[in-house]
């Protein structure tokens, strides 16, 4: 892969721990058996929960949007955290098992409650968590579904499938993914390229010893990706995808744009927890890439656009030490054609995203960008 060299290097701020996505909140277990009621006893069957939290009013990332909407990541993150809680407390999944999000979907069914207004807002989820692939009473994955409401108004849904592989399986997948990515990245074959990517492997939890040269890149203006602060821009301007065979990158065509994802910046602005990092990273990178693409392709105004649908499947881990690319393609054959409209007459664009590291597909996503008007 060739990366267009960037003339300027954006200064990095000193490392400050990113605040958590969610503040303090209550999680209520809803028992429907006598033993669940009396003893909080939870067999490996579907369990219901109620979740409620105040939506943040001053988060440095998620309150930094130019469009005045609550962030779509909240319900997903709420779902994820509840699933982690349920995994440990209710389903007795051992603590040495990492949580891996294998798929996630979130939808906005009514945009009005998502608008940010003065004063606090409460988000609530009505969650059902079902253990799957139960072996000896311990599930290997959880299927989670939630109905989302904000200030008592039903306004969305969220789903997630979360796997809890054994440490051995987890390490195997990690290593395999890293190997596939590193061997397929340019610069590892001894050839020259304008921008050599220093690739290293690391185990989860380790800080990379050397940041890739990819960090020296040009980023779009924050308004183009729906942010006010340049600090919160996680993607670079679209790049020329490589021509080499065997890569997963597509050429930039009239129907596709490829963005480098600024992993170091992401590591600074997103919560520093591996499990949360991947979800938050991919959702935020999806949003920024999709908004940019929607502006380029359809003339959307980012300050009045929101993601009304995000659906992704995860094939592997996003290694912090390796370059990550996000390719956005349109779902419409003729980009100049009329966009579909929702029942209120607002246009929306459906975009297909793929995240890759080297030849390895990390995630595929489908998003819908709604132009609010």
User: Which of these ranges, 26-34, 138-146, 210-218, 226-234, lies near another protein under the rule CB under 8 A?
Assistant: 26-34
For the purposes of burial, counting CB atoms within 10 Å of the CB of 311, is it exposed (0-12), middle (13-18) or buried (19 or more)?
Answer: middle
Among 66, 81, 265, 357, binds another protein (CB under 8 A): 81
The C-alpha atoms of residue 340 and residue 368 are separated, in whole angstroms, by 11
Q: Residue 30, interface with another protein (CB under 8 A)?
A: yes
- The per-type count for the chain, helices as H runs and strands as E runs, is 5, 11
Structure tokens at 241: 């995808």
The C-alpha atoms of residue 221 and residue 228 are separated, in whole angstroms, by 9
Residue 158 CB neighbours (<10 A)? 24
Among 29, 211, 231, 346, binds another protein (CB under 8 A): 29
Closest separation in Å from C-beta 107 to another protein = 15
Residue 47 CB neighbours (<10 A)? 23
Among 52, 102, 193, 313, binds another protein (CB under 8 A): 52
Q: Where are the alpha helices (DSSP H) in 97-231?
A: 167-184
Contacts of another protein in 143-182 (CB under 8 A): 152
Q: What is the DSSP letter of 316?
A: S
Which residue's CB is nearer to another protein, number 51 or number 348? 51
DSSP string, 336-373: TSPPPB-TTS-BEEEEEEEEEETTEEEEEEEEEEEE--
Residue span 110-129 as binding mask against another protein, x where in contact by CB under 8 A, dash where not: ----------x-x-x-----
Rg of the chain, C-alpha, whole Å: 21
Which residue's CB is nearer to another protein, number 75 or number 260? 75
The C-alpha atoms of residue 88 and residue 269 are separated, in whole angstroms, by 28
For the purposes of burial, counting CB atoms within 10 Å of the CB of 294, is it exposed (0-12), middle (13-18) or buried (19 or more)?
Answer: buried
Among 2, 4, 10, 31, binds another protein (CB under 8 A): 31
Q: Please report, for residues 81, 130, 180, 218, the alpha-carbon distance to residue 362 in angstroms, rounded to integers and kept in the order given.
A: 22, 25, 11, 23
Among 9, 12, 13, 40, binds another protein (CB under 8 A): 40
Among 10, 19, 130, 339, binds another protein (CB under 8 A): 19
Q: Residue 254, interface with another protein (CB under 8 A)?
A: no
Closest separation in Å from C-beta 31 to another protein = 6
Q: Residue 279, interface with another protein (CB under 8 A)?
A: no
Tell me the number of residues near another protein by CB under 8 A. 33
Q: Residue 59, interface with another protein (CB under 8 A)?
A: no
Q: Residue 23, interface with another protein (CB under 8 A)?
A: yes
Among 20, 157, 188, 193, binds another protein (CB under 8 A): 20
Q: Residue 140, interface with another protein (CB under 8 A)?
A: no
Among 24, 191, 299, 337, binds another protein (CB under 8 A): 24
User: Interface with another protein by CB under 8 A: which residues?
Assistant: 17, 19-20, 22-34, 37-40, 49-50, 52-54, 81, 85, 89, 95, 120, 122, 124, 152
């Amino acid at each position: 892969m060739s990366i267009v060299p960037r003339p300027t290097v954006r200064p990095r701020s000193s490392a400050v721990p990113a605040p958590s996505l969610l503040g303090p909140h209550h999680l209520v277990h809803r028992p429907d058996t006598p033993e669940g009621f009396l003893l909080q006893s939870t067999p490996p069957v579907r369990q219901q929960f109620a979740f409620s939290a105040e939506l943040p009013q001053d988060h440095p990332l998620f309150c930094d949007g130019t469009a005045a909407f609550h962030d779509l990541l909240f319900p997903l993150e709420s779902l994820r955290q509840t699933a982690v809680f349920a995994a440990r407390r209710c389903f007795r999944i051992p603590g040495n098992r990492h949580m891996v999000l294998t798929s996630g979907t979130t939808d906005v069914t009514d945009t009005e409650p998502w608008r940010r207004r003065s004063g606090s807002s409460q988000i609530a989820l009505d969650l059902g968590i079902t253990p799957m692939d139960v072996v000896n009473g311990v599930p290997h994955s959880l299927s989670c579904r939630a109905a989302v409401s904000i200030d008592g108004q039903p306004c969305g849904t969220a789903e997630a499938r979360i796997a809890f592989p054994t440490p051995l399986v987890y390490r195997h997948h990690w290593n395999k993914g890293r190997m596939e990515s590193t061997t397929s990245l340019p610069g590892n074959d001894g050839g020259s390229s304008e921008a050599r990517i220093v690739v290293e492997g690391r185990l989860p939890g380790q800080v990379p010893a050397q940041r890739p040269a990819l960090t020296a890149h040009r980023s779009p203006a924050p308004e183009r990706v729906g942010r006010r602060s340049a600090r919160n821009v996680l993607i670079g301007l679209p790049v020329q995808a490589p021509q080499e065979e065997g890569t997963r990158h597509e050429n930039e065509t009239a129907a596709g744009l490829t963005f480098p994802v600024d992993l170091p910046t992401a590591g600074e602005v997103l919560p520093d927890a591996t499990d949360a990092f991947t979800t938050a990273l991919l959702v935020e990178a999806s949003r920024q890439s999709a908004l940019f693409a929607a502006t380029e392709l359809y003339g959307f105004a980012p300050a009045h656009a929101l993601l009304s649908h995000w659906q992704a499947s995860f094939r592997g881990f996003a290694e912090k030490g390796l370059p990550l690319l996000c390719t956005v393609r349109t779902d419409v054959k003729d980009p100049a054609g009329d966009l579909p409209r929702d029942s209120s007459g607002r246009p929306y664009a459906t975009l297909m995203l793929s995240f890759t590291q080297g030849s390895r597909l990390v995630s595929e996503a489908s998003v819908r960008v709604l132009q609010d008007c």
